[in-house]
Structure formats: structure tokens, C-alpha cells
Amino acid sequence: MNRQLILGTRALSITQETIAPIQLSRSLSSRTNTHDRNGSNNVSHVGEWLEFLNNNAETIPSSIVKSKHGQSSPRSLKTLTCRAPIDALEQFVPQEVLERVKDSPSHYTRGSDAVVTTSNRTTSANANRQDCIKKIRDILREIAKDIMAEASRKPPKQLPKKPPTKLPEAEARRRFEEQKRQQRVAKVHEKIVRGREERIQARGPRN
């Protein structure tokens, strides 16, 4: 049985096969939110969602995307701007992905709290809308890929510390003799200073 979803003046037919992927996407997103509340750094659910997104175009349903034409110039009348509100995406997209997209000013507008794309590839509003929706999915897909790549990146390998290098025998002997010489010089200097002070004291104060 088909359901009818009215979007603007266009009716979208959603079959049971389309609804099932959306429900599974919500399930993955719910698991993501549970991981977040528990403070886990495990991003395996992002990988599951990414694999699911690659295999199911309707993981992020087009019905949540709002669109309108520009009105400032004849050229902008052909340009369609689409917005996917973050609060609507939360039930379909892992929280880590949404947090990352908020740090991308080229894709996210803080004022409307939405992922924004534009398209003027054709004169068909419907074709431009589909292009916008594809761009939104591609943006989220690339962010998820980056998260997975960072998680799989191994920490830099730490090389074992080298043991202290043993000095050659001649160099060790030279350093030892130099140390003894400095000690002898210090003792002689100390003896000279002490003798000078004793002579001054024996001479008594000057009148």
C-alpha cells in the first residue's frame, strides 16, 4: 500500500520499501544518542549509518527539506535554495555528524540552524530540488567519512629511547682528567683566597 505525502503542490509516493530504510535510520540515530549520553567515544554507529546511507538514498527523507526560489534578480529566480533544519535531521543523522556540520560555515547557517544548499543547474524546480537534496546527503556523507577516518587513524608510533651512548675510552679518560684539573684549580684558588684573608687579619686594621 502506498502512502501519499504532500510536499508543496507535488505529491510524493512512499512505498513500504522506502519507509523501512527510514525507520532503520531512526533506529541507528537513537543508538547514537544513547552513546552520546553515556559519554562513549565509540563511533562504530557512525560507520553503520554511513554504510546504510550509501545503500539507501532515502536515509535522509526529502520531505524534511524546505526550498524556495531567490527573488533578487532574474538569475536568482532560477536558483533554488534548500534548507534541512538540524532539529529535523536529528532523528536521521548521528549527533557527531551534525555537530561537525555546524563547524562548517559554507554548509551551515546559524540563523536558521540548518544545512543549506543551492542549485540552478536546470530551469526545473523539481530537478534543482533533487540536486539540493543530493548535495545535503553528500555533505553529511563526507563528514561521516572524515569522522571514521579520524577514528581509524593510528596514533604516531613512539620509537624506543636509545640507551646512553658509551664514550670511547680515550674520550672518557680525557673528560676525567679535565674534571680532576678543574678540581685542582679550584682548590688552589680557594687556598690563595684563604691565605690573603689570613694575612689581612694578621696585619690588623689600617690607621
Encode the chain (207 residues) as per-residue pLDDT tens digits: 333 333 332 323 323 333 334 444 445 545 444 444 443 445 777 777 777 777 665 566 677 777 776 544 455 557 888 988 998 888 888 888 889 888 888 888 888 889 998 898 888 888 888 899 899 889 988 998 888 888 887 777 777 877 777 778 888 888 899 999 999 999 998 988 888 888 888 877 665
Any idea what DSSP says for residue 73? Answer: S
Phi and psi at residue 81, in whole multiples of 5°?
Answer: -105, 130
Domain containing 192 equals: 167-207
Residue carrying the nine cell digits 544545512: 115
User: Does residue 158 lie in a domain region?
Assistant: no
Of 120, 152, 184, the one marking the end of a domain is 152
Alpha carbon 84 to chain centroid, angstroms: 21
CATH number at residue 99: 3.30.160
The partner residues of 14 in beta bridges, in order of sequence, read 3
- Domain co-membership, 142 together with 172: no
- Domain co-membership, 134 together with 175: no
- Domain co-membership, 9 together with 107: yes
Distance CA 123, CA 146 (A): 34
Amino acid occupying residue 180 = K
Any idea what DSSP says for residue 121? Answer: S
Amino acid occupying residue 28 = L
- Domain co-membership, 18 together with 60: yes
- Alpha helices by DSSP H, listed for the chain, are 16-37, 44-55, 74-77, 86-89, 95-101, 125-152, 169-203
pTM of the model: 0.53
- Domain co-membership, 100 together with 187: no
- Domain co-membership, 176 together with 90: no
User: Does residue 160 lie in a domain region?
Assistant: no
- Domain co-membership, 175 together with 87: no
Question: Do β-strands 114-119 and 80-85 pair in parallel, antiparallel, or remain unpaired?
Answer: antiparallel
Of the candidates 109, 112, 128, which has an alpha carbon nearest to the alpha carbon of residue 120? 128
- Domain co-membership, 177 together with 141: no
Question: How many structural domains are present in the chain?
Answer: 2
- Domain co-membership, 184 together with 145: no
C-alpha cell at 22: 527510514
